[in-house]
Amino acid sequence: MTAVPEASPIASVCPTCGEPVPAGDRFCEACGSDVPLAGGQPLPVSPDPTAGAPPATGCVACGGSVAADGYCEQCGLKQPDPHDHEEIDLGWAAGVTDRGLRHPHNEDAMALAVARPGLAVAIVCDGVSSSSNAAAAALAAVRAAAPVLLEESGRDAKAALVAAVAVAQRAVVAVPKIGEGEAPSCTFVAGVLHDGELTVGWIGDSRAYWLGDSNQRLTTDDSWAADQVAAGLLSEGEAESSEEAHGITRWLGADAPATEPRTLHFHPPGPGRVLVCSDGLWNYASTADELAALLAGLPAEARELDVARHLVDFARNSGGHDNITVVSLAVAADKGER
C-alpha cells in the first residue's frame, strides 16, 4: 500500500467551478464567484487527475528518466498514477480511495474535513464509467461541495447538503466532454456529523451506513435494482446480481433528470461509526451487518484509517472489479468524535 499525502496543498476551491483558489482569496479568478472561508484550513480532497503526476525523480522500477507521458524511457514501465491510491487521515475520521484491480483509472473522489470539534463532513463521488471524463466529474463535485458543507453545515445541515449538491451540479456541468460517451457525470453521497447528529444527502448509488449496536444502511439507491426491489419484482439479492444492477436513475451532470438530493437525519443510538462508500465496496458486502462483520476482527484500538484500509483491502481481495472508496467517521458514547 502506497503512502500518500494526507491533504491537498489547495487552500480552498471555488464552490461554483471547482478551480483552486489561493489562500486568503474570497473570489475565484476563473469564474468570479465568491468563495466562502472553510475554517481557515486546507480541504483534504482528491488531487486533480488531469493535472498529471508531480515531476518524478526516476522510474519506480529502474530509476530511469520518465517521459511526459508517464512511461520510463529506459524500461518502458508505466509509472503509478498518484490518484490510484489516496488516503486522508484526520484521526477519528479517515478515508481511502483506490483504483481497484480491473479499471484503468480511479474515477472515484472523496473529501473529508473537520471544521471544528463536533463538526465533520465527508463526501464520496463515483464517476459514471459510461460518461466522458468521469474522473474529472467526480473530482469537480467533491471540490465544489466541500467548502459549502463546511461553511453552512453548522447552521442547517440539510440546507447545506442541498446547496452543496447545487454547486456540485454546476461544477460537473462545467467539466468538458472528452472523446466518446455521455456528458461527464457522477454520483454523490455526503454525511454531516454535527455534535453527534448525522445528516446524509445523496444522488445515485454511493451509500452511507451506520455501524454500531444496531447496524443500518442509511441511503436508498437511485438505481434500476432499487426500483425493482421497491416494486416487489425482485429480492434485493436478485436485483443486485442482475446485469442491470448498477444502472442508476439519478446522477449529477448535464443530462441529469433531477439533482435535488434525498436527505436523511439520523440520531446515533450509541457509539459506532458512519461509513460512506462507493459501490466498489458494497458490491462485495451490501448489508450493514455484512460490513460490521468484516470489522469484527479488528483490534479495539484500530484507527478509522485502519477501518478504511481494511475494507478497501477486502474489496480488492474479493475481485476489485470497480474503484473503491471508503470514508469512516467514529462516534463515541457521548455522541462526539472519539
Distance of CA 320 to the CA centre of its chain: 17
Least confident of 204-218, 236-250, 298-312, 322-336: 236-250
| 3-state per-residue secondary structure call for 73-106 | CCCCCECCCHHHEEEEECCCEEEEEECCCCCCCC
CA distance 264 to 308: 23
At residue 247, the 3 state secondary structure works out as coil
CA distance 187 to 207: 10
Instruction: Give me the pLDDT at residue 132, please.
Output: 94
Q: Give yes or no for a contact between 127 and 108, defined as CB atoms under 8 angstroms apart.
A: yes
pTM: 0.80
Pairing of strands 119-126, 93-98: unpaired
The pLDDT-based confidence of 74 (bands split at 50, 70, 90) is: confident
**Average pLDDT value for residue range 118-131:** 93
CA distance 107 to 86: 12
CA distance 293 to 311: 11
Beta strands in 278-337 (DSSP E): 324-331
Residue 62 has pLDDT above 70, yes or no: yes
pLDDT for 231-264, tens place per residue?
A: 888 777 776 777 676 689 999 999 999 899 999 9
pLDDT for 156-182, tens place per residue?
A: 999 999 999 999 999 999 999 998 889
Per-residue cell: 77: 514501465
Name every residue whose Cβ is closer than 8 Å to that of residue 224 and which is 6 or more positions away in sequence. 239, 242, 244, 245, 247, 248, 249
CA distance 20 to 37: 13
Per-residue cell: 167: 454547486
pLDDT for 283-309, tens place per residue?
A: 999 999 999 999 999 998 899 999 999
Per-residue cell: 16: 461554483
Q: Tell me the CA distances in angstroms from 318 to 50, 246, 276, 281, 283, one per residue in order.
A: 29, 18, 19, 10, 9
Query: Is 1.20.1090.10 the CATH number for 12-43+77-331?
Result: no
Per-residue cell: 315: 474489496
At residue 226, the 3 state secondary structure works out as helix
**Cα–Cα–Cα angle for 291, 297, 301, rounded to 5 degrees:** 105
User: Which residue type is seen at 293?
Assistant: A
Residues in the chain: 338
Per-residue cell: 178: 472528452
Terminal CA-CA length for the chain:
26
CA distance 42 to 24: 11
Return the residue matching grid coordinates 471508503.
326
At residue 310, the 3 state secondary structure works out as helix
Residue 123 has pLDDT above 90, yes or no: yes
